[in-house]
């Protein structure tokens, strides 16, 4: 099977993650259009003449029927304190006693991201279904100030369901202070616009090329963040080595830091931020937690209003051996087309993203691992892509359906076979609890 990580690591797996704060865009639950949900089940795998895998298709069909049924709470439920989806999402919350001096809460957490993809390019065609992220674990709050969380990847196509740790950490967030410290195995959400946003909340189905090429997935170490008025800050130190569970500090280390400032430009609240990642790892195979770049600098801005949202990012990176540099920028506006589709608040959002990337070395840019590398493995030096999509929020970010398409063009000045021109189409379901 393809195995996926939260970051730009590798082709596919899963991730179930629970107990997050808020449900993102519009938190109120609504019912799902069953025909829209079921449309994702009509999968066709037409790659290398292979037929559909009945076991995989049946697994996907059952999952999407489950999603459709549980999202189909009718308008008759409107106005009640708890809807069907409220009740369902409360099931994993196994224990809650905020007044306890020892254990305040214990909940299961999980995430499933599945998607159908199709590449149609000059270099070839491919299509398939991928269980992109499947993760399950728990989160628990102790002594009012400490949170313990552990999650693991699930492998569905192997004899063992365990496919390595996703996260395992303790977080200290003292009451009354806007400060936290996390230590352990962490999802790297600390640099740039797209890599500072969880996969549960990104508005495009996949992150951009430069982010996937530069940023790590999970890391081992310590990270703190805080806020003082309009000023926010964060910093962390990490091991350059990572295994299925943890790693060691014998292969170098890396450090990240950033400062942000709350803005109100043109009447829209937002944040402007700068992040810097220094990779002090050795240039060998054991230093596997970070990409082969010594310095990464990101300047980015994000705002989200009632209907309009905008993200802008400029990122540059220098190779670990000082041989070259890559840089690029991303512009990603969003707009809520409909605040109500079938029920009170089940908004329909349109997303547009333009990305440009450039390398001053020949063949310094890699095609998107998802899913351009399914038809080509040759690198290029200039890349442009335009993504457009629709997101239907059934239960905020906790349950949503996504459709998207991206046209990309990779140029190859040395003419060594790295040119790519084509479309990648997606249909996805995103669920977490």
Average pLDDT value over all residues in the chain: 85
pLDDT of residue 410: 97
252 DSSP 8-state letter: -
- The span from the CA of 268 to the CA of 311, in Å, is 12
Residue 53 has what pLDDT?
A: 52
If pLDDT is split at 50, 70 and 90, which confidence band does 285 have?
confident
**CA–CA separation, 428 vs 49, rounded Å?**
24
Q: How far, in Å, CA of 9 to CA of 150, rounded? A: 20
More confident residue, 203 or 51: 203
Q: What average pLDDT does the segment 164-168 reach?
A: 96
pLDDT at 59 over 90: no
H or E, element range at 90: helix 84-90
The CA distance from 362 to 342, in Å, is 51
DSSP string, 245-296: S---STT-EEEEEEEEEEEEETTEEEEEEEEEEEE---SSTT--SS-SEEEE
Burial class (CB in 10 A: 0-12, 13-18, 19+), 345: middle
Pairing relation of β-strands 103-121 and 93-96?
antiparallel
Preceding amide of 419 cis, omega within 30: no
Q: Which of 72-76, 242-246, 377-381, 429-433 comes out lowest in average pLDDT? A: 72-76
Judging by DSSP bridges, how do beta strands 325-338 and 348-359 pair with one another?
antiparallel
CATH H-level superfamily of 34-432: Porin (2.40.160.10)
Is the alpha carbon torsion for 380, 381, 382, 386 positive or negative?
Answer: positive
Length of the chain: 433
DSSP reduced 3-state for 209: helix
**Euclidean distance between CA atoms 367 and 8, whole angstroms:** 12
**Whether pLDDT at 333 is above 90:** yes
Q: Six-digit token pair at 176?
A: 């009354």
Task: Tell me how far apart the alpha carbons of residues 419 and 344 are, in angstroms, rounded to a whole number.
Answer: 47
Query: With 80 as the cut, is the pLDDT of residue 40 above it?
Result: no
Q: How confident is the model at residue 46 (pLDDT cuts 50, 70, 90)?
A: very low
Question: Taking 70 as the threshold, does the pLDDT of residue 182 lie above it?
Answer: yes
- Higher-confidence residue of 417 and 381: namely 381
Contact at 8 Å (CB) between 121 and 112? no
Tokens of 269: 């609240």
Categorize the per-residue pLDDT at 1 as very low, low, confident or very high, splitting at 50, 70 and 90.
very low
Residue 93 has pLDDT above 70, yes or no: yes
**259-263, 268-272, 342-346: range with lowest mean pLDDT:** 342-346
More confident residue, 287 or 230: 230
pLDDT at 193 over 50: yes
**pLDDT band (50, 70, 90) for residue 157:** confident
Alpha helices in 13-167 (DSSP H): 34-38, 54-71, 84-90
**Between residues 224 and 5, the one the model is more confident about:** 224
Cα end-to-end span (Å), the chain: 24
Residue with tokens 């400490």: 146
At residue 413, the pLDDT reads: 83
> How many other C-beta atoms lie within 10 A of the C-beta of residue 339?
14
**Cα separation, 78 vs 84, whole angstroms:** 10
Q: How far apart are CA 282 and CA 193, in angstroms?
A: 27
The larger pLDDT score, comparing residue 343 to residue 137, is at 137
358 three-class SS: strand
Residue 289 has pLDDT above 90, yes or no: yes
């Amino acid at each position: 099977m393809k195995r996926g990580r939260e970051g730009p690591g590798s082709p596919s797996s899963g991730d179930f993650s629970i107990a997050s704060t808020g449900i993102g865009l519009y938190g109120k639950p609504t019912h799902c259009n069953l025909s829209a949900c079921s449309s994702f089940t009509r999968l066709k795998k037409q790659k290398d003449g292979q037929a559909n895998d009945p076991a995989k298709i049946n697994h996907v069909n059952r999952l999407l029927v489950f999603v459709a049924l549980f999202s189909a709470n009718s308008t008759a439920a409107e106005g009640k304190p708890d809807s069907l989806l409220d009740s369902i999402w409360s099931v994993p919350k196994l224990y809650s006693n905020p007044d306890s001096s020892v254990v305040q809460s214990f909940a299961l957490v999980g995430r499933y991201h599945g998607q159908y993809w199709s590449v149609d390019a000059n270099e070839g065609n491919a299509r398939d279904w991928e269980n992109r992220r499947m993760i399950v674990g728990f989160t628990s709050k102790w002594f009012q100030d400490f949170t313990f969380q552990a999650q693991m990847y699930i492998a569905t196509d192997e004899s063992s369901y365990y496919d390595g740790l996703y996260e395992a950490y303790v977080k200290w967030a003292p009451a009354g202070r806007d400060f936290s410290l996390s230590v352990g195995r962490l999802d790297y959400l600390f640099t740039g616009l797209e890599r500072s946003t969880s996969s549960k909340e990104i508005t495009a189905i996949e992150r951009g090329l430069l982010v996937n090429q530069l940023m790590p997935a999970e890391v081992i170490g310590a990270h703190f963040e805080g806020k003082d008025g309009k000023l926010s800050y964060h910093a962390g130190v990490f091991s350059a080595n990572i295994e299925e569970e943890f790693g060691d500090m014998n292969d170098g280390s890396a450090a990240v830091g950033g400062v942000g400032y709350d803005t109100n430009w043109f009447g829209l609240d937002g944040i402007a931020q700068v992040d810097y990642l220094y990779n002090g790892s050795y240039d060998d195979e054991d230093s596997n937690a970070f990409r082969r770049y010594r310095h990464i600098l990101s300047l980015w801005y994000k705002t989200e209003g009632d209907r309009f949202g905008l993200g802008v990012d400029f990122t540059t990176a220098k190779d670990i051996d000082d041989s070259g540099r890559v840089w690029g920028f991303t512009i990603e506006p969003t707009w809520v087309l409909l605040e109500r589709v079938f029920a009170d608040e089940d908004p329909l959002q349109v997303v547009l993203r333009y990305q440009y990337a450039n390398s001053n070395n020949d063949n310094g840019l890699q095609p998107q691992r998802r899913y351009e590398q399914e038809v080509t493995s040759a690198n290029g030096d200039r890349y442009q892509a335009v993504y457009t999509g629709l997101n239907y929020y059934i239960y905020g970010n906790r349950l949503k359906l996504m459709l998207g398409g991206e046209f990309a063009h990779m140029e190859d000045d040395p003419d060594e076979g790295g040119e790519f021109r084509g479309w990648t189409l997606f249909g996805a379901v995103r669920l977490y609890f």
